[in-house]
Amino acid sequence: MKKIKLFGFWILGVIILISPALYNGYPLVYSDTGTYIESGMELYIPIDRPIFYGLFIRIFSLNISLWFVIIFQSLMLLYILKSFTHLFIPNMKKVTFLILISSLIFFSGLGWYSSQIMPDVFTPIAIMGSIILLTNKNDSKTHLLLTIVITLIALVVHFSNPLIVLGTMTFMLFIKYLFKPYFNSIHLVQFILPLSMIIGSVFIVFTVNYAVEGKFQLSKSSHVFLMGRMIDTGVLKSYLNENCKDNDYVLCPYKDSLPESSRSLMWSNNSPLQKKGWEANKEPYNEILNGIYTSPKHVGSFFINSLVNTFSQLLQNDIGSGIISDFYRSPNSPTYKRIQQYFNHEINAYRWSRQNGNLWKQSLDFTTISICYKFIYFFSFILLLVIITSKKIVRQLNDTILYLLVFAVSSIFFNALVVAFLSCVCDRFQARVSWLLPFCIALFIIMHKKLLKRFWFNSLKNRT
């Protein structure tokens, strides 16, 4: 009976996490989904992303269905969520846990990412997996191995994930030594495993790239993304205006007609990038980037702009960014083509999903859920401020709980920081992890509801 209940828990948990896809009628897709499918099925490294999520699709679709992809990634997410929760509330009832996850599905972007054929769901998995490896001292070998494998997968599927986790871990290490009396049970040696995982994930990417293409490199397109950021921040135009008279840079002929944004640089047919291609522009673009990095004025401008964009990125939390578009229903779109090519028996299900305006012209609408989520996110932030500014509350918390709050804030901040410095300000990138704050606050409330109730009662009593 116990095994049946446990099996039922995992089945129900996965169903909850993929419920947005069930509501949609098919796994959700994004404009990049087609590239991921093709790269995995054809075993090639895309110009603008790693191959690993493509391989994930190839392996876990079982060459049968994309439904298996979201089922397996949701199973990994559920395992990490359960393990993470167990760190702080070991005796939480399974029913309570499922209610908590269900609430996140209704009022955050959690389910919309776990139900999507995209690697974004692995960013919070990488972050939570690393904190599990950092703080859990009594893992069984099986649990430890599963956590390591899942976290490694999460780290390699997207270029930004190792940087976000590294920033989070580094900040938490800094906080430990800045406030030593509060974190006596967290030791330096515990950081070795998660930091080793980050280094290992980067080595894996280098090794696979070398094995497939004979080039020991992390990315084939870092110069393009960085140049895109220089366009978005206005630094590129300023630099070219000041330096083209003395240098024959490849973009000098376009200094007065540069693409208006990084997206235009990368994807517009009229972009100067398209004339020679991504790889052919590597050396010419790096020459310009090196010039910018050695110019105090321009690198300073880039840094300030990106820092401002970081705080802007923190507020970009609309649910469903990029999911609603007529683009997906077009037979000429890469996503449509790849599903038709590799999962042809599912093309009707894809065409009749709500995302593509099904047979009854029903569609997806994220207006209400985005408003609800913003309210919950704001409330969580206010409650966090109340907690950390109250000495009466902080004194009664152990260091593991304090680390939970540090983790929630730092992971969300470093996600925004990495995105702002390397990509563009976008709701999709922030909503994939920002639900971690209300999740951690909910765990805190469950753990310390009596303490909070007493605090609020005393506060009201003092006012009256």
Cα(182)–Cα(84) distance, integer angstroms = 21
Q: Which of 29-33, 53-57, 269-273 has the lowest mean pLDDT?
A: 269-273
pLDDT greater than 80 at residue 391:
no
* Burial state string for 122-153 with b = 16 or more CB within 10 A and e = fewer than 16: bbbbbbbbbbbbbbbeeeeeeeeebbbebbbb
Do 312 and 425 form a contact (C-beta atoms < 8 A)?
yes
> Could you read off the pLDDT of 131-181 as tens digits, one per residue?
998 877 667 888 999 999 999 999 999 999 999 999 999 888 888 777 766
What DSSP line would sit under 394-462, residue for residue? Answer: HTTS-HHHHHHHHHHHHHHHHHHHHHHHHS---HHHHHHHHTHHHHHHHHHHHHTHHHHHHHHHHHHHH
pLDDT for 90 = 87
pLDDT for 182 = 63
pLDDT greater than 90 at residue 387:
no
Label each residue of 30-49 as H, E or C. CCCHHHHHHHHHHCCCCCCC
For residue 211, count other CB atoms closer than 10 A to its CB.
Answer: 9
> Could you read off the pLDDT of 106-134 as tens digits, one per residue?
999 999 999 999 999 999 999 999 999 88
Handedness of CA 200, 415, 408, 433 (dihedral sign): negative
What DSSP line would sit under 258-320, residue for residue? Answer: --SSHHHHHH-TTSHHHHH-TTTTHHHHHHHHHHHHT-HHHHHHHHHHHHHHHHHHHT---TT
> Could you read off the pLDDT of 186-226 as tens digits, one per residue?
777 778 889 999 999 999 999 988 888 777 777 888 889 99
> Could you read off the pLDDT of 77-117 as tens digits, one per residue?
999 999 999 988 888 999 999 999 999 999 999 999 999 99
Q: What is the pTM of this model?
A: 0.93
Write the Ramachandran bin of 79: left for phi over 0, alpha for psi from -120 to 50, otherwise beta: alpha
Question: What are the φ and ψ backbone dihedral angles of 41, each rounded to 5 degrees?
Answer: -70, -35
Cα(450)–Cα(152) distance, integer angstroms = 38
**Sole residue written with tokens 């790693």:** 50
pLDDT for 185 = 67
Cα(355)–Cα(323) distance, integer angstroms = 7
Nearest CA to 217 out of 377, 51, 55 is that of 51
Higher pLDDT, 402 or 17: 17
> Could you read off the pLDDT of 443-456 as tens digits, one per residue?
988 887 766 666 56
Do 126 and 194 form a contact (C-beta atoms < 8 A)?
no
Give whole-number Cα distances, 352 to 47, 192, 342, 348, 359, in Å: 31, 49, 18, 6, 6
Higher pLDDT, 461 or 177: 177
For residue 410, count other CB atoms closer than 10 A to its CB.
Answer: 22
Coil, strand or helix at 116: strand
Do 319 and 364 form a contact (C-beta atoms < 8 A)?
no
Cα(319)–Cα(100) distance, integer angstroms = 19
Query: Rounded mean pLDDT of the chain?
Result: 90
pLDDT for 348 = 96
Cα(30)–Cα(39) distance, integer angstroms = 15
Residue type at 374 in one-letter notation: K
pLDDT for 135 = 79
pLDDT greater than 60 at residue 460:
no
Cα(39)–Cα(49) distance, integer angstroms = 10
Q: Which of 261-275, 284-298, 339-353 has the lowest mean pLDDT?
A: 261-275
Q: How confident is the model at residue 424 (pLDDT cuts 50, 70, 90)?
A: confident
pLDDT for 458 = 60
**Sole residue written with tokens 């904190």:** 131
pLDDT for 450 = 64
